[in-house]
Amino acid sequence: MPENTIPGFLRALDLGVTTLEMDVVVTKDHRVICSHEPWFSHDIALDPSGIEIKEENEKNHRIYAMDYTNTQNYDVGLKLHPRFPDQQKLPAHKPLLEDVIDSAEYHAGEKKRELPYYNIETKTTPEGDGIFHPSPEVFVDLLLEIIYEKGIAERTIIQSFDTRTLQYIHIKHPDIKLALLIENDKSIEHNIQALGFIPDIYSPDFTLVNANLIAFCHRKKIEVIPWTVNELSDMKVLILLGVDGLISDYPDRFKSL
């Protein structure tokens, strides 16, 4: 199923996923939508004329320069992602976060399943301020308004590589669970010191996980949830090491363990 789309999220729930992982960005008119990048990626998107977007031009299709209604003129489900050749093709658009939540809550209720948890990544960088997104404070305020309005705060984790968004939430909304995303090879002590507080979750690239890292985190009562784990062999190793969860593009593989 296409990434960050309502059909994809509902399919994940049908596979038994308990936490929906998603990425969010902000439009020009301050709507929060689900998207892995703050632009329309050449890997998955067709422009409003139905033409494939070239890699060198994709950042010209930045979402923060468009109103939400304009983003709906792009299709993100008919072009197969090159890394996922088995993906099912279907017409799809980047959805509003509020619509994703409404759909997931309704779907779980209809199927008489427990309501899902939400792991939401803020797609911000210092270099992108004012270009690909608003300031971290405005971004977070828009996001948290939806989370509180939908009544899912107790079932929500906010994750980010950008420590600024996590620091702001930690001060303004201490009830929200936070995950620090890591892709560098610096020590966990260094990364936590840079954050300035102990996060609820430490979420590194799975290749950075080892027994010492897990032991350190568990001593500090930090959960370890690495990303993005797609191979069964890697999943098995990480489970044996004692991770608290996994982020994967293939939840059906994890379910088979």
Instruction: Give Cα 12 distance to the centre of its chain.
Output: 14
In a domain, 72, yes or no: no
| β partners of residue 121 | 23, 159
**Predicted pLDDT of residue 173:** 97
**Predicted pLDDT of residue 60:** 98
Mean pLDDT of 159-167: 99
Report how many domains make up the chain.
1
**Predicted pLDDT of residue 255:** 75
Residue 25: is its pLDDT beyond 90? Answer: yes
In a domain, 71, yes or no: no
In a domain, 69, yes or no: no
**Percentage of the chain surpassing pLDDT 90?**
92
Position of tokens 């992982």?
21
Mean pLDDT of 192-208: 99
Residue 211: is its pLDDT beyond 90? Answer: yes
**Predicted pLDDT of residue 221:** 98
In a domain, 132, yes or no: yes
User: What does the alpha-carbon distance between residue 237 and residue 210 come to, in Å, rounded to a whole number?
Assistant: 10
In a domain, 52, yes or no: no
Residue 93: is its pLDDT beyond 80? Answer: yes
In a domain, 77, yes or no: no
The DSSP string of 16-83 is T-SEEEEEEEE-TT--EEE-SSSB--TTT-B-TTSPBPPGGGGGGGBGGGS-HHHHTTSBSSSSPPTT
Residue-number span of the structural domain to which 103 is assigned = 6-41+96-255
Residue 256: is its pLDDT beyond 80? Answer: no
> What is the overall mean pLDDT for the chain?
97
CATH number at residue 138: 3.20.20.190
In a domain, 57, yes or no: no
**Predicted pLDDT of residue 86:** 79
Mean pLDDT of 52-62: 98
For residue 85, what are its two tokens?
């050749």
